[in-house]
Structure 1
Amino acid sequence: MNQQLDTAINTIVTALRTVREQKPLVVNITNYVAMNNTANALLAMGASPIMAHSRQEMAELMSFASALVINIGTLDSQWIPRMLFAVEQANINNKPVVLDPVGCGASALRTATSRQIGHAANKLIIRGNASEIIALAGEKTQQKGVDAQDDSDAAVGAAHYLLETYQGNVVISGATDFVITPEGVFQLNNGHAMMPYVTGMGCSLSALTGAFAAIGEESGLAAVAILGVAGEIAAAQSNGPGSLQLNIVDALYQLDEKTLIQRIKLS
């Protein structure tokens, strides 16, 4: 097991270095609330974000972009066909798709759309909170709007179901983060209790997941570990959620490999 953990940590560190070297272009169809946050997180990490919502340019963008992130946070009837077309273009170009099923379980529209996108994507990573993961799997959840009311460990069984159903890795974010892949389940205990008080923190994690998937790290592990460590560092310098939001961007930008290795809490 120690060898497996060492390999995983090496994968995380290598992924950080590679994203900074390659600066992959990540196409984001994301929500209005977190658009600025996610773009800044990607830039600070070293990736190149583009927020694209027009069907007219999607085929062209996905021909040379490295990953697609779909976030359904501000869903409406016009966005759904655009999202599905974007997934189709990602499939044509063999690009990974990260699905953030924001509020899945809060409404029938969000749940149905999340499942439709999940089934459509060929190379899928699902990143959600526990309540969203449970709802996506069709189980009863304590969902309240877009906020999780379930503990992350309660969603591990649902995540295994999603892994089998959609043939895609699953990331459950929460006080404890879980990454579920065919190779096993990883648990991470980084992050800070203040992070849920910043809007779009999960959205930023999904965007970063796309950046690492763009360079071949498709488990979601690197994004979870790096944002968690950055959150810890930022929280130590923050008086509240407002300053935390800014300090996380700085922490992502300044994070070095030695600090990352020292701080990762992985099992």
Structure 2
Amino acid sequence: MKEAREKNDNIPFSFIEEVKRKNPLVHNITNIVVANDSANGLLAVGASPFMSSTIEELEEVVAIADVVVLNMGTLNDEQLDAMLIAGTKANQLNKPVVLDPVGAGATTYRKKAVLRLLEQVHPTLIRGNAGEIAALADEKWHAKGVDAGTGSGNVRLMAEKLATQQQTFVSVSGEIDTITDGTTSYYIKNGTSYFTKMTGAGCLNSCICGAFLAVDEKRSLESIVVGSTMYALAGELVANELSSLAVGSFRTLLLDKLSKLTSIEVLRKAMIEKERN
């Protein structure tokens, strides 16, 4: 454990308290399945959620927000237009944008939509599962709806390829989370399989990453690592407390754990590896 602590000493876990102190306003254009959990999860870590895709108010909302999170979960043409407006405005105001390309490889419509977004909006972070990242990196993968699906590609190489192509950060959730800027990569080995049984687990991860980017003036890769590690560890600790499969309890207790975790506990229990090309 001493070695793990030393490896993590340069990671700014103090951002966990910084989110609570600064209470960043996170503007979400998200899907109807996860809106409630995403909002409550943001409140649990100390951020303030704003859920709106109303085109008439988007520029005003983005102007007061600290970060914009775009989630394609229940995508339609009107929502895509809203994402283009919000993302473009955020870029103009130099505010971070998180793109969650839900189901990007599942249908032709979604693939075209996300490519259109990437043509007009520059995201600070693209966060998704392996199937979604593979679709954006033009790698072979068998997507299963909005789930990760299966494939034989190297997740790290896919993530690095996409990060380099788009000049952005990329985070891939899975048994081991991979977070990269194309040159430096972090691997988070905390987590639990319970996340795969909870609708919107990845979506909430994107929201939390957005909150941590919002309080990081440097918009560093490490702020995403902190948010992702906190989230993965919260799920792991809750799963360890459950004596048997209890998906509903996991969802509720996850919010409780997110509200209580401190930087000291996350530093002590984080399992993170770093690799540089």
In structure 2, the CA distance between the partners of 1:210 and 1:4, relative to structure 1 (3 Å rule), is: same
Q: Which amino acid counterpart does residue 29 of structure 2 have in structure 1?
A: I
CA distance in 1, matches of 2:179, 2:250: 25
Which residue does 2:253 correspond to in 1?
Answer: 247
Which residue does 1:230 correspond to in 2?
Answer: 234
Query: Which segment is superposed worse, 21-30 or 118-127?
Result: 118-127
Tell whether 2:122 aligns with 1:122: yes
1:139-178 mapped onto 2 (5 Å cutoff): 139-150=139-150, 154-178=154-178
Q: Is the Cα–Cα contact under 8 Å of residues 27 and 52 in structure 1 kept in the other structure? A: yes
Which residue does 2:69 correspond to in 1?
Answer: 69
Superposed displacement of residue 181, structure 1: 1.7
Aligned length: 264
Structure 2: stretches of 5+ with no match in the other structure: none
Structure 1: stretches of 5+ with no match in the other structure: none
Q: Which amino acid counterpart does residue 255 of structure 1 have in structure 2?
A: L
Query: Which segment is superposed worse, 119-128 or 195-204?
Result: 119-128
Superposed displacement of residue 15, structure 1: 1.2
In structure 2, the CA distance between the partners of 1:117 and 1:218, relative to structure 1 (3 Å rule), is: farther
Q: Secondary structure at the match of 1:94?
A: coil
Q: Secondary structure at the match of 2:150?
A: coil
CA distance in 1, matches of 2:47, 2:14: 15
Which residue does 2:60 correspond to in 1?
Answer: 60
The normalised TM-score by structure 1 is 0.94
Q: CA RMSD in A?
A: 1.8
In structure 2, the CA distance between the partners of 1:74 and 1:264, relative to structure 1 (3 Å rule), is: same
- In percent, how many aligned pairs have the same letter? 35
Tell whether 2:54 aligns with 1:51: no
**Per-residue displacement from partner, 1:223-267 (whole Å, max 9, x unpaired)?**
210001100111123341110000000000011222111110001
Q: Is the Cα–Cα contact under 8 Å of residues 153 and 176 in structure 1 kept in the other structure? A: no
**Per-residue displacement from partner, 1:67-101 (whole Å, max 9, x unpaired)?**
00000000011111111011111011111110000
Q: Secondary structure at the match of 1:236?
A: helix
In structure 2, the CA distance between the partners of 1:152 and 1:168, relative to structure 1 (3 Å rule), is: farther
The normalised TM-score by structure 2 is 0.90
